Amino acid sequence: MGAPTARPTARPPPGADMLARLTTAVITFVCSFAVLAAGPVQAAWSSAGAGLAAQTATAMPSGPTPTVTMSYSLGVGYIYRLTWPASMLHAGRPVTGYRISRSVGGSLLGIGTCSGVTVTGLGAPIYVPSDVGADAYTCTDVSLVPLTAVRYTVTPVYEKWVGTASPWSMPTS
């Protein structure tokens, strides 16, 4: 048996250790600069989709107080005309309808002819304007007899979301 032969050890090429240290230093500097230059973290989201989950972060607006005028038309009856400005969600998106409530002499009555369509799960019928992008809306409530001290509220609705009712309008006779 002869003497064991020595195997040569693999050595990195000259300067490889220095290159590894320089690469690490450059990466550390770039990452540190990126973190320091970023400033405070901010987050936001928007909803451009449709459906029940599309507006989970949007607050419903309060209803605007309607202006009410009364007139009489032979063969039709007493016409109460309600006018109010449009209600908007976050980012200027209009609500899709309004719940109109009527009070005569303090007792709450059913909703007048402003009722529009019935939306399932929202209780009272909802007035859905023909142009949901308008700046203001008008609807009429008709009665065969004059109503004493009639008042109205407007509550904005967006899909199944319901806002806060407006203050009552001034009594109209």
Residue at 13 is within a domain: no
Which range of residues forms the domain containing residue 132? Answer: 60-162
Comparing 81 with 92, the larger pLDDT belongs to 81
Residue at 123 is within a domain: yes
Burial 70-86 (b: 16+ CB within 10 A, else e): eeeeeeeebebbbebeb
pLDDT at 42: 41
pTM: 0.61
Residue at 96 is within a domain: yes
CATH code of residue 141: 2.60.40
pLDDT at 120: 62
Tell me the three state secondary structure of residue 18. Answer: helix
How many domains, the chain?
1
Closest C-alpha to 50, from 158, 164, 162: 158
pLDDT at 7: 65
Residue at 108 is within a domain: yes
112 pLDDT band (50/70/90 cuts)?
Answer: low
Residue at 128 is within a domain: yes
pLDDT higher than threshold 70 for residue 16: no
pLDDT above 70 covers a percentage of the chain that reads: 58
40 pLDDT band (50/70/90 cuts)?
Answer: very low
48 pLDDT band (50/70/90 cuts)?
Answer: low
Q: How many CA atoms lie within 13 A of 47 on its CB side?
A: 15
Mean pLDDT over all residues of the chain?
75
